[in-house]
A = this chain, B = another copy of it.
Amino acid sequence: MVTIVDVARAAGVAPSTVSYVLSGKRSISPETTRLVEASIRELGYHPNAGARALASSKTSVLALVLPMRTDQNVAVVMEFVAAVAKTAREHDYDVLLLTKDEGPTALRRVVSSALADALIVMDVEAKDPRVPVLRSLQRPSVLIGAPDAASGITCVDLDFAAAGQECVAHLAELGHRSIALIGPAPAVYRRGTGFARRFLRGFRAAAGKHGVRAVNRPCSHSYDAAVRCVDELLAADPELTGLVIHNEAVLPAVLGDLRHRGIRVPEDMSVIALCPDSMAVQQPVSLTTIAIPAEEVGELAVEMVLRQLAGPTVPETRLLAPRLVRRESTAAI
């Protein structure tokens, strides 16, 4: 193993000088810099992460807590992870993977054993037990999502309320007077995952404002549930002409079922979905969507957490404005 002493000897300088060349924390003559950098390259030196962490109390590692349900949202979660990993590396950080089901203890463990400098936590619920722990930990952290009590912590997420509003506004503008929301599984509401309720709130508010008849129907992930859901909605209101789908899992099922019933999209039924773009274009009709800005959120999460690492910041909840992408599944009535 190549150590800083080896490099120093090869370059004919002191170990501390090598360290300073690497960190840039003091000015070094160009000549010395050249010498040291050459030795580093020649010997293939990589600083030992443990030693560095021990001496500097900084690990250059971010812990990322992931939900590991495989039933839902997988594509979106993956996009977050990709964005977080990429952005972290751009700032010379590595990513340590934790899973949500390790619970709040895992956060404590990672921090007290100095495995990571900061935490990014996904899939935050309304009354998330990890939030108080995070608060007590006194370590930089960013939540992706937002709990009920977000005071004192930093969050970033899509503005789901605005997203709900935009969906309704778009349909209302196209002349639709009766619309329905096919929501996430009942379990999601029960778990109190914030985004579901925030979306619903925006949806309802906008419906009131635009004078549109609007109903809401959670839907679990089986094909049958999706079909039953469409059934009920059509039975309850034959005039229904607009569907907002906030549930990627049943997207193919709902669209398939509409087609099977001879209900054309968008001629007979306008459909707008909240889902990743990649999914939107993989359907029989390419879907008008509110994109989930996973990449942006992931990137932002890393940047916000690094800013905290760099110095004091004020906790804030950052909600990203929804971006409606109009494709072929919505039309004027």
Contacts of A77 in B (CB 8 A): 78
Pick the contact of A256: B49, B98, B252 (CB < 8 A). Answer: B252
Q: Which residue of the partner chain B has the closest CB to A250?
A: B282
- Let me know if A253 and B284 touch, CB within 8 A: yes
A64 lies within 8 A of chain B by Cβ:
yes
Interface string of A55-89 (1 = CB under 8 A from B): 00001010010101011001101110110011001
* Shortest Cβ distance from residue A133 to the other chain B in the assembled complex, whole angstroms: 13
Pick the contact of A64: B49, B97, B115, B283 (CB < 8 A). Answer: B97
- Let me know if B48 and A113 touch, CB within 8 A: yes
Contacts of A47 in B (CB 8 A): 113
Q: Which residue of the partner chain B has the closest CB to A284?
A: B223
Q: How far apart sit A104 and B48, CA to CA, in the bound complex (Å)?
A: 19
A96 lies within 8 A of chain B by Cβ:
yes
A191 lies within 8 A of chain B by Cβ:
no
A51 lies within 8 A of chain B by Cβ:
yes
- Let me know if A276 and B54 touch, CB within 8 A: no
Size category, A interface: 35 or more
- Let me know if B70 and A78 touch, CB within 8 A: yes
- Let me know if A96 and B94 touch, CB within 8 A: yes
- Let me know if B96 and A97 touch, CB within 8 A: yes
- Let me know if A70 and B113 touch, CB within 8 A: no
Contacts of A79 in B (CB 8 A): 70
- Let me know if A78 and B68 touch, CB within 8 A: yes
Contacts of A97 in B (CB 8 A): 64, 81, 85, 94-97
Contacts of A112 in B (CB 8 A): 1-2, 44-46
- Let me know if B82 and A99 touch, CB within 8 A: yes
Given A79-B70, A260-B260: A50 touches B59 (CB 8 Å cut-off) = yes
A259 lies within 8 A of chain B by Cβ:
yes
Interface string of A221-233 (1 = CB under 8 A from B): 1110000000000
- Let me know if B102 and A89 touch, CB within 8 A: yes
Q: How far apart sit A233 and B1, CA to CA, in the bound complex (Å)?
A: 58
Contacts of A45 in B (CB 8 A): 112
Q: How far apart sit A221 and B75, CA to CA, in the bound complex (Å)?
A: 15
- Let me know if B114 and A50 touch, CB within 8 A: yes
Contacts of A61 in B (CB 8 A): 96
A327 lies within 8 A of chain B by Cβ:
no
Q: Which residue of the partner chain B has the closest CB to A86?
A: B99
A29 lies within 8 A of chain B by Cβ:
no
Contacts of A2 in B (CB 8 A): 112
Q: Add 20 more A-B contacts to A46-B112, A53-B53, A94-B96 (CB < 8 A).
A: A1-B112, A44-B112, A45-B112, A46-B109, A46-B113, A49-B50, A50-B50, A50-B114, A61-B96, A64-B97, A68-B78, A68-B85, A70-B82, A70-B278, A74-B74, A74-B75, A82-B99, A94-B110, A95-B96, A256-B256
Top 10 A-B residue pairs of the complex, sorted by shortest distance between their CB atoms? A50-B53, A252-B252, A46-B112, A50-B54, A68-B82, A46-B113, A95-B97, A50-B50, A256-B256, A49-B113
